[in-house]
């Protein structure tokens, strides 16, 4: 039975975003492998502490609620991230973290450049066309090869529907994060 590290209970910040999960121990000195949800896991590297919660379903967890995991070091390794935390000093302690979901405060994310957005910031934005016609609300984003696609939720005659719009400059005129709105060159009947 893996020996759990001593972790401090914590309150999940209101702006916390789930950014990955702990897959398994890595090596014998307390390092563990992280599967990031982003191809660019800079938020994991920027945050000095991660907030952990047990896996959604299945698996055994030695903790409940939210705990704080102070990170000593995190780096890219192959297709994943490996990390080492304070209080996690051997393989057994690292194995005890298996399956934990990792959250970091949104403020830990690196700043974006112009015309660059975090997906989490786009979810929930209203989408309207140039004429001001409401097309729906962003419910998710899909990577579709060379581009990302906005998936919008809306109702038509009382039935829930979805609409997809490529998230490219040819169709997206403006993203107004403060105004919670995206303006597009798109018609409702496309």
Q: What is the mean pLDDT of the chain?
A: 91
According to DSSP, the residues that pair with 152 across neighbouring strands are: 138, 163
pLDDT of residue 60: 67
| pLDDT above 60: residue 2 | no
Q: In CATH, which of 1.10.10.10, 2.40.30.60, 3.10.25.10, 3.40.50.920 is domain 8-108?
A: 2.40.30.60
Tokens at residue 164, please?
């997809």
CATH code at 119-184? 2.30.30.240
Domain(s) labelled CATH 2.30.30.240 in the chain stretch across: 119-184
| pLDDT above 90: residue 52 | yes
Write down the residue that tokens 């140039």 correspond to. Answer: 130
| pLDDT above 60: residue 100 | yes
Percent of the chain with pLDDT over 70: 95
**Distance (Å, whole) CA 10 – CA 68:** 6
Length of the chain: 190
Domain(s) labelled CATH 2.40.30.60 in the chain stretch across: 8-108
| pLDDT above 70: residue 3 | no
pLDDT of residue 20: 93
Q: What is the mean pLDDT of residues 18-32?
A: 94
Write down the residue that tokens 């403006």 correspond to. Answer: 174
According to DSSP, the residues that pair with 134 across neighbouring strands are: 128
Write down the residue that tokens 């997206």 correspond to. Answer: 172
**Distance (Å, whole) CA 183 – CA 186:** 9
| pLDDT above 80: residue 34 | yes
Q: What is the mean pLDDT of residues 14-31?
A: 94
pLDDT in tens, 114-170: 888 888 899 999 999 999 999 999 999 998 888 899 999 999 999 999 999 999 999
pLDDT of residue 109: 87
């Amino acid at each position: 039975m893996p020996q759990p590290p001593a972790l401090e209970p914590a309150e999940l910040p209101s702006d916390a975003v789930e950014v990955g999960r702990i897959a398994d121990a890595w090596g014998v000195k307390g390092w563990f492998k992280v599967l990031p949800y982003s191809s660019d896991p800079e938020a994991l590297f920027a945050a000095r502490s991660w907030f952990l919660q047990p896996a959604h379903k299945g698996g055994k967890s030695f903790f409940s609620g939210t705990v704080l995991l102070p990170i000593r070091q995190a780096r890219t390794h192959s297709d994943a991230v490996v990390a080492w935390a304070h209080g996690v000093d051997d393989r057994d302690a690292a194995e005890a973290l298996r399956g934990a979901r990792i959250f970091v405060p949104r403020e830990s994310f690196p700043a974006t450049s112009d015309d660059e957005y975090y997906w989490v910031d786009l979810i929930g934005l209203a989408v309207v066309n140039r004429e001001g016609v409401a097309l729906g609300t962003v419910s998710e984003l899909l990577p579709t090869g060379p581009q990302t696609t906005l998936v919008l939720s809306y109702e038509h005659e009382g039935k829930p529907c979805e609409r997809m719009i490529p998230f490219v400059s040819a169709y997206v005129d403006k993203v107004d994060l403060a105004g919670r709105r995206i303006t597009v060159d798109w018609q409702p009947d496309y």
